[in-house]
Amino acid sequence: MESPSNGRAASAWLMRQARAQRGRVALPVALGLATTLCAVGLAFLIARVLATLLGFAGGGWEDLGIAALLVLAMAGLGMAQEAAQNRAGEAARAKLRTALFARLMELGPDDKRGVGEKAALLVDRVEALDGFFARWLPAVALAILAPATIILVAAWADWVTALVLLVMGLLVPVGMAVTGIGAARESRRQMDVLGRLSGRFVDRLRGLSTLVQFNRAEDEARHLGQVAEEFRTRTMRVLRVAFLSTTVLELLAAGSIAYLAWRHGAHLGANHPDPVAAIFCILLVPAFFQPLRTFSQAYHEAMSARGAAADLAPLLEAPPAEGLLLESMPPRVTVAFTEVALRYEGNPRPALDRLTFAVSPGETLLLVGPSGSGKSSVLKLLMGFARPSSGRIALNGQDATRLKPAELRRLSAYVGQRAHLFQGTLRENIALARPDASAAEITRAAEAARVMSFARRLPQGLDTEVGEGGYGLSGGQRQRVALARAFLRDAPLILLDEPTTALDPGTEAEVMEAIARLCAGRTAIIATHSPQLRGLSARVLELGAGRMAVSHVE
Ligand SMILES: Nc1ncnc2c1ncn2[C@@H]1O[C@H](COP(=O)(O)OP(=O)(O)OP(=O)(O)O)[C@@H](O)[C@H]1O
């Protein structure tokens, strides 16, 4: 639920985004203003022609010709304005999406949101800002500039008309504020439901086979249907605001035309001194209300944007992680933990308690211990995804926490329990670790990780496509692709988290052989349940009892 301070922070953030977009909004505003000037000219020419038709002194065929040209110009300007607005919206969304993605990457596993929720942030929330940048911002500027221009022109023709338009123009924001009470709150709720819907949808899609296996597909579909229905209700409430504010506007426009028609019509009958000006004043009314109408239509987009901003602002406004940059990549790294403790927020039990150990270059350390003993937490600290609550982590004698977290990640190559393979070729999947690597370097890394031993048998070798999630490759093959990434990265620190957990003994032996080669000459820390990782010459550090016990395995 949106708290007032939350709402204010979201609005302030939106205003800052709007200021940053000023340059891009200027063009649509200028084009919109040019359209208004054309509309004024058109009203004047038509007023002259109509005056002639009514038997007064007015314009002729040339006025009609110029009016036709103005209509064409207005169509062209309208199209150009639309294109400029779409470009502004696209640019703003692309910038925000990039910043958001970078932020989520920086937070890494520390961000508690589920995959579906993150996807909803990146897609739906950013998309909800499109209307704000593309339509709302130009509409606000034009809702002030264009009517003000028309009031000035009307004042020249008839000051009463100018006064009527001024009063009606001032009533529009009042009417919209009244009809829009609670609109921001409704939009926020709509966003919340959309977030839940997308989150649940992605989550259930990922586990579709499990749901089918347990015959839960129908229940899930019903539940999704309920959330979708709630979303529909919320959307209708948001749209009601849009309809109401448009109705208020139409009433004001109709009232203005009725009054001005009566006033000038009565005068026309009684030998009006300037019939062209009288007709012109009536014809100005639609041109006057057009930008206000666009403004009112975009109103609910601004409300949706506020709803989305309430989710995006806290993430994007969080100060970027601070720290030093590496002067150069050290060829070797000594890791030393001294009395390191780690407490996660909201968890009273420390994940690590006064942990002390050191690993030198060329050495491999196996972190063993029962589930929950803190093995992965040690790796998280070394990747900068968590910071120690107390104690010191030194890399080559220097305090690691002084480095930027992203710089810490540059120092290491990480392989987890189940490598994620992206849709693309094996080569592209390996190159992810170092996109500028040459074809020969990728092949060398693939050889070292024993990827080539199975890739050679594939129809297109390393250029074989593997599906999303690595469909078509066995668990052991996927892990070898992950190891090839680590070989290609050639970082001095190797961090492995249960790299052989999901493998059968035969495959495990193959992967272990590649791991041994990867760790040779580097500093390696491997979290594992089993101290019997075959083929590795390593020291063992047992976590869990709180203190460490070091033994040696060959
Ligand atoms: N983000 C978190 N927030 C709160 N508590 C956490 C978080 N991550 C880990 N923990 C807790 O910290 C402790 C250590 O977790 P960690 O994942 O490091 O253990 P582990 O030895 O790697 O376990 P496993 O072998 O099951 O992977 C556990 O009690 C866990 O519940």
Query: Is the CB of 101 inside a 6 Å radius of any atom of ligand 1?
Result: no
Q: Which atom of ligand 1 is nearest to the CA of 377?
A: 18
pLDDT band at 554 (very low <50, low <70, confident <90, very high): very low
pLDDT digits (tens, 9 = 90+) for 5-31: 667 788 888 888 888 888 888 999 999
**pLDDT tops 50 at residue 147:** yes
What mean pLDDT do residues 228-255 have? Answer: 82
What's the complex ipTM?
0.96
**pLDDT tops 80 at residue 400:** yes
Query: Is the CB of 351 inside a 6 Å radius of any atom of ligand 1?
Result: yes
Query: Is the CB of 377 inside a 6 Å radius of any atom of ligand 1?
Result: yes
State in Å: Cα 512 to ligand 1 middle. 25
pLDDT digits (tens, 9 = 90+) for 369-388: 888 889 999 999 999 888 89
State in Å: Cα 476 to ligand 1 middle. 25
183 vs 126 pLDDT, higher one? 126
Geometric angle at alpha carbon 87, from 85 and 93, rounded to 5°: 105
pLDDT band at 270 (very low <50, low <70, confident <90, very high): low
Query: Is the CB of 314 inside a 6 Å radius of any atom of ligand 1?
Result: no
Query: Is the CB of 500 inside a 6 Å radius of any atom of ligand 1?
Result: no
pLDDT of residue 360: 93
- Across the chain, which distance is largest between two alpha carbons, in Å? 112
Q: Is 307 within 8 Å of 125 (Cβ atoms)?
A: no
285 vs 469 pLDDT, higher one? 285
pLDDT of residue 547: 46
CA distance 211 to 222: 13
Query: Is the CB of 371 inside a 6 Å radius of any atom of ligand 1?
Result: yes
For the purposes of burial, counting CB atoms within 10 Å of the CB of 536, is it exposed (0-12), middle (13-18) or buried (19 or more)? Answer: buried
Best mean pLDDT range from 258-262, 393-397, 401-405, 505-509: 393-397
Nearest CA to ligand 1 atom 11: 351
**pLDDT tops 50 at residue 143:** yes
Query: Which residue of 367, 376, 500 sits with most ligand 1 atoms within 8 Å of its CB, as the best mutation to test the pocket?
Result: 376
**What count of residues does the chain have?**
554
Q: Which amino acid is at 226?
A: Q
Percent of the chain with pLDDT over 70: 92
Question: Alpha-carbon torsion 315, 317, 318, 322, what sign?
Answer: positive
The whole-chain average pLDDT of the chain stands at 84
pLDDT digits (tens, 9 = 90+) for 154-172: 888 888 888 988 998 888 8
**pLDDT tops 90 at residue 106:** no
pLDDT of residue 4: 55
pLDDT band at 549 (very low <50, low <70, confident <90, very high): very low
Instruction: Give bridge partners of residue 550 from the DSSP assignment.
Output: 541
What mean pLDDT do residues 325-332 have? Answer: 79
Instruction: Give bridge partners of residue 528 from the DSSP assignment.
Output: 368
Query: Is the CB of 201 inside a 6 Å radius of any atom of ligand 1?
Result: no
State in Å: Cα 412 to ligand 1 middle. 21
State in Å: Cα 115 to ligand 1 middle. 19
pLDDT of residue 385: 87
pLDDT band at 429 (very low <50, low <70, confident <90, very high): very high
Query: Which residue of 113, 355, 373 sits with most ligand 1 atoms within 8 Å of its CB, as the best mutation to test the pocket?
Result: 373
Chain-centroid distance, C-alpha 516:
40
pLDDT of residue 3: 54
Nearest CA to ligand 1 atom 4: 344
242 vs 244 pLDDT, higher one? 244
Among 128, 105, 111, which residue's Cα sits nearest to residue 17?
128
Q: What domains lie within the chain, and their CATH numbers? A: 4-313 (1.20.1560.10), 335-553 (3.40.50.300)
Q: Which atom of ligand 1 is nearest to the CA of 374?
A: 18
CA distance 140 to 34: 16
State in Å: Cα 108 to ligand 1 middle. 15
Among 473, 383, 391, which residue's Cα sits nearest to residue 424?
473
pLDDT of residue 546: 47
pLDDT of residue 428: 93
pLDDT band at 272 (very low <50, low <70, confident <90, very high): low
Q: How far is CA 408 from CA 106, 321, 323, 499, in A?
A: 12, 12, 10, 21
Nearest CA to ligand 1 atom 17: 376
Percent of the chain with pLDDT over 90: 31
Q: Which atom of ligand 1 is nearest to the CA of 349?
A: 29
pLDDT of residue 40: 92
What mean pLDDT do residues 66-73 have? Answer: 91
Q: Which atom of ligand 1 is nearest to the CA of 527?
A: 22
Query: Is the CB of 109 inside a 6 Å radius of any atom of ligand 1?
Result: no
- Among 129-133, 297-301, 475-479, the range scoring the smallest mean pLDDT is 297-301
Query: Which residue of 343, 353, 375 sits with most ligand 1 atoms within 8 Å of its CB, as the best mutation to test the pocket?
Result: 375
What mean pLDDT do residues 111-139 have? Answer: 86
What mean pLDDT do residues 390-418 have? Answer: 89
DSSP states along 314-368: HHHHSPPPP-BPPSS--SS--EEEEEEEE--TT-SS-SEEEEEEEE-TT-EEEEE
